[in-house]
A and B are shown apart, each in its own frame.
Chain A
Amino acid sequence: MKSMTKTKKLVSLVLFAICAALLLTSVVGYVKRGSSATEADLNTMRTQSVLHAASGGLVETFASRAQSDKLMELRKLPNFRKLGTAEVTRQCEEAAELARQEAKERYSNVQGTDTAALESEISLFEDTVAIYNNAETAEKEVYADAYTALADSVSDWEEFVGEKDDAALLASIREQVSELPAQLDESFVLLARDMKAAAVEAAAKADEATEETTTEESSDEQSVDYKYFVPSAELTALEEQVEVKYGSLWTVLVAAIPDLANLDEKISTSVRESIVEILSTTNEGFTARYKAYHAQEAESALSGKAASSMKLSANAEIILIASVALLLLTCVYAFWDFLTGKMGVPRTIILLFFLYLCLAGRLFEMNMSMLMGNVLERFGMYGILTLAMLPGIQCGIGLNMGMTIGCVAGLFGIITALQYNLTGYTAMLVSMLVGSLVAVPMGWAYSLLLNKMKGSEMTVSTYVGYSFVSLMCIGWMILPYNNPRIVFPLRGSGMRVTHGLIGVFAHLLDNLGSFRLFGVKVPTGLLLVVLLFCGIMWIFSRSKVGIAMSAVGSNPRFAEASGINVNHMRSLGTILSTVLAALGIIIYSSAFGYAQLYTAPKQMGFIAASAILIGGATTSKAKVNHVLFGVFLFEGVLTLGQQIANAAVSGGGLSEVMRILISNGIILYALTQSGGDSE
């Protein structure tokens, strides 16, 4: 703050003032939303919307009539055939447009009619619709819960359905799903049969596929199929009531606009749909209501002043986002020196970028709680993989791109667990044990190579990381495991590319003690495991050996002068890094739900390196908090960034391009910095 120049102070102050003004405006908007005046205005808009929707139907009727009349008229012309399709279409549409204008003018001014009666009818209907909607939602929720419970508990549909008859199948379904409403019995039997068919088909497909492309992580939460949903008796009764209420509303509407009486059936259904849609927003708060009414051009019913106040309320959120965005920018501008001093330029910028992504997510109306849940999940998935970078940097081999060796060891552990049909925690622990046991000698051998090539570790590790993965592509093919679950079905040998871990140890940790906080799913177990390993590494870094190892990393000559065997310490760090990578890939696969072999681990080193570098580590110095901060920021930016990039720019592929740009860009930046690392 001391070093701030006068202009900077002035500019910051002005910017802060603008922020405050914007903030105030948005607060005013939010306050107005709750006021009774707004409520009344909204109701006016609602009436107008209903009328508009109804008259809109009329207008369309007139337009389509005019169009068909014109067509008939044209047909009668002697030179009809010479006109050509384009010309005919043009003339018809012209006529329809003309009719539409005329009709609009005729029906635009219906306020004069008996709005009071209309309003009360609308309110009544609205309430009924709301009750119906609530009931329906509740029932669908029960259905969805039962559906997911069944889908999750059954791993082998073929076995589950088997040759059972309906009653027996139902009994076994009820075993899995405790609360199944009676009216759903039949549907669930059908459902189970369908699932079986799907499973058989999928298995057949897997047989054909020999080389799958790597499946990028998709949201692995299954979508619920509502095909078999059956409403209960109460719900049917409620639906009838809605019908009745709509009848009386329609009567009032016809009274207001007599022409409605002779509406096309098709158009009258669509009118009904739009009216129901407008009115089912009641419980969803201001924004949804306003939006629904706005679509029906209902502002025209408001007086000038009311309209502008409504506009303010409607835009309060955007103003709020804009003010927060500006506030962030101002803060960064004003406290630049402080922030960059604390975190460094790149971290400041990426943190700012992350916050902006959150705001942009709000702006694009994305499901932020789901996105945040994804961020947490991916934090857990990549946490230990990134932690694997830490001992490498500390012991002086720099960014350990060769951590893919550890990933391969971990995958070998998983495959071993699959081979012996292990499940649950046993499978996970056996994977970890086997993975670590394999990782230790591999890491040691790899460290010998690194010790021989001091000074060019980065090149060696990148090359070894890549080539070892490629070498293991052969290794996976000739591994003598023979469990039919893991080998190529037709070939009978060689590991498959992707192994589903559902029923083995998929989501074991992230479902352990998970809960929802403000709608964000917190994968408690996963986070705890990451924190546990970080804690162990932190304690290790405070032990005699850990201190010696970091000394080797930061100043090998100093360490040597103190009687430390530099090569031993470098080997230790490399082995630790490799073992952590093995454990990391097991936890990653568990949370992802699939274990991917062959070329899949190739990029892991780059992801982990970028994450720890974002966290503030350099190629020669790193701490545990760099890992935690880095994984959160990196995965946060990527998760949000990909989704938002897809929302902002249609057409897929952008997210993948972005991932590569961001992660490789960060590594490059860090490498440019690593030269001038000295204080």
Chain B
Amino acid sequence: MDSEFVLEMNGITKKYGLNTVLKDVTLRVRPGEIHALLGENGAGKSTLMNVLFGMPVIHSTGGFQGQVRLEGQDVKIHSPMDAMTKGIGMVHQEFMLIPGFNITENIKLNREISRPWFVSKIIGKDMELLDTPAMKRDARLALDSVGMKIDENELVSTLPIGHMQFIEIAREIDKTGMKLLVFDEPTAVLTESEAAQLIDVMKSIAARGVAIIFITHRLEEVMNAADTITILRDGQLVTSLAKTETDMSELARLMIGGSGSVSRVSERETNIDPTKIAMKIRHLAVDQAGEATVDINLDVREGEILGIGGLAGQGKIGLPNGIMGCYPATGEVELFGEKFELNNAKQALSKGLAMVSENRRQVGLLLDQSIEDNIVFSAMQVQNDFVKGPFKLKDSKKIRAHAEEMVKELDIRCTSPTQASGTLSGGNQQKVCVARALTLNPRFLFVSEPTRGIDIGAKALVMQTIVDLNRKKGITVVVVSSELSELRSVCDRIAIVTDGVVECILRPDSSDTAFGLAMSGVDVEEGELAK
């Protein structure tokens, strides 16, 4: 039976425990088309692909609901291997290549062409010889079809990163019977010209009748390459439309969220003086793997809450970590008009800076130690607070009193201040981190991903706490978050970091389109920018 679609995924629902990550998602791909799958981080793109490839993580968490049809036939895909034999291929975001093998060997890995000889006739097929010339011919063919002119005998480890992507593609193309190829953010590590070349390759592959699912968040590339676009948001299908029916702005709006109205926690009563600068950042480059910033220029105004948004991996998290001395950084930073020394965590803390780390369990807390010890740790080490006597012994009474005060003030739910912080829930752990930062009596506070991994009720509380700190104690706060709605609910201005630079600074009430475009690295209209 012939079908209009090479792949149909109908009504896919997937739950991890009580958490629904995909809800009734439908994806239909025609043969020979480039189908872009668009969405923010956490929108469910990866999970959908995991379902398609029958990844173990899906099966081990109770499977999924819905129907997968390949060329009109119901199929059950049990494993990635199974998916491969059914003609579905994947070009990975992280390269799955063996550096010590040459290109041919990588392309033909596990699908080697072999020929029998007398030993293999006795012992079995495993002992057959490799038919290297035939393999090379195949590899050459595949490389040519992706427009690569390099020698097929070269070792993968000697290639530039951009070329590895094409070898991955060549490997997928070389597989016979390939019907559907998934590209998972293939342009993330490529230069502009390489990205353009890749899109050409994709088009030529599609022209041969192979369908392509193209996962990305770069709107320009989508507009350039895709025939059809499916947008996911918060695990739900937003829409599926043809490229000709839409434009970039609409896509950005659809990706970010359509509601339009922003629910603010509380509005500011007094205005911020835009000339008073708390922190002046110039040419900040931070070397944090996966979140590196390239050239950040930003002014943080005194008394404001500044949001830093952007997609994962674009460098927004590198900003606070670089300034706080957790990762090597270069650039010029001025704090309240004074020159600020980078790469010195102790100095940063003693100058009145504090940070609530995004990595709560690994950087933010001593999990096996008590709440009170966690709360006073930094203050004790940096400001010699909470110690007594010539040996600087810890002052248990003072610590207890302060911890109890903090527990009350921030409403940390615990049995006592001596409870180990590792046994608390995520939200309460976050509050302990906030309490530790507050104990330093900071003038300037970084809060990085404050709501990561905590439940919805606790999220609201944490955001409320941040606003209270700003309003009541006058602390300048920089909030880094992947969740735009969160930033828009508390911030005065929101800087969007893309590709390691500040793309633009938006108002919380700027349009969804503006945010969507900014995150994709597309220029935003003047009117949407913050003053």
Binding site for B on A (CB under 8 A): 539, 542-545, 547-548, 551, 554-555, 557-558, 560-565, 621, 678-679
Contacts and interface: CB of A to CB of B under 8 A. Distances in A.
Contact of A562 (B369, B373, B381, B422): B381
A551 B345 CA distance: 15
Which bucket holds chain B's interface residue count?
35 or more
Interface in B347-376: 347-350, 355, 357, 359, 362-369, 373
Contacts of B326: 557, 560-561
Given A558-B363, A563-B349, A679-B420, A543 B324 contact: no
A545 B392 contact: yes
B387 interface: yes
Contact of A679 (B324, B349, B368): B368
B118 interface: no
Given A551-B377, A555-B362, A561 B420 contact: no
Contacts of B147: none
A563 B345 contact: yes
B384 interface: yes
B393 A561 contact: no
B115 interface: no
B325 interface: yes
A562 B378 CA distance: 5
A565 B380 CA distance: 15
B523 to A, nearest CB: 36
B394 interface: yes
Contact of B347 (A539, A543, A563): A563
B4 to A, nearest CB: 51
A184 to B, nearest CB: 57
B188 interface: no
B392 A543 contact: yes
A678 B326 CA distance: 23
A643 to B, nearest CB: 39
A558 B374 CA distance: 10
A678 B367 contact: yes
A547 B355 contact: no
Given A542-B394, A544-B380, A551 B346 contact: no
B422 A679 contact: yes
Given A555-B366, A557-B362, A561-B324, A544 B345 contact: no
A621 B348 CA distance: 29
Given A551-B366, A564-B346, A542 B393 contact: yes
A542 B369 CA distance: 13
Contacts of B423: 679
Contacts of A560: 326, 345
Nearest to B367: A679
B436 to A, nearest CB: 9
A561 B345 contact: yes
- For B381, B392, B394, B422, the residue with the greatest tally of chain A CB atoms inside 10 Å of its CB is B381
Contacts of B392: 543-545
Contacts of B387: 543-544
B381 A563 contact: yes
A537 to B, nearest CB: 13
Nearest to B394: A542
Contacts of B195: none
Nearest to A563: B346
Contacts of B366: 551, 554-555, 558
Given A563-B346, A563-B382, A547 B377 contact: yes
A564 B391 contact: no
A319 to B, nearest CB: 46
A539 B393 contact: yes
- For B347, B365, B373, B393, the residue with the greatest tally of chain A CB atoms inside 10 Å of its CB is B393
Contacts of A543: 387, 391-394
B345 A554 contact: no
Contacts of B384: 544
B440 to A, nearest CB: 9
B289 to A, nearest CB: 14
Contacts of A542: 393-394
A35 B365 CA distance: 69
Nearest to A544: B392
Given A544-B392, A547-B380, 7 more contacts: A543-B391, A551-B377, A555-B363, A558-B365, A561-B326, A561-B355, A564-B345
A371 B391 CA distance: 41
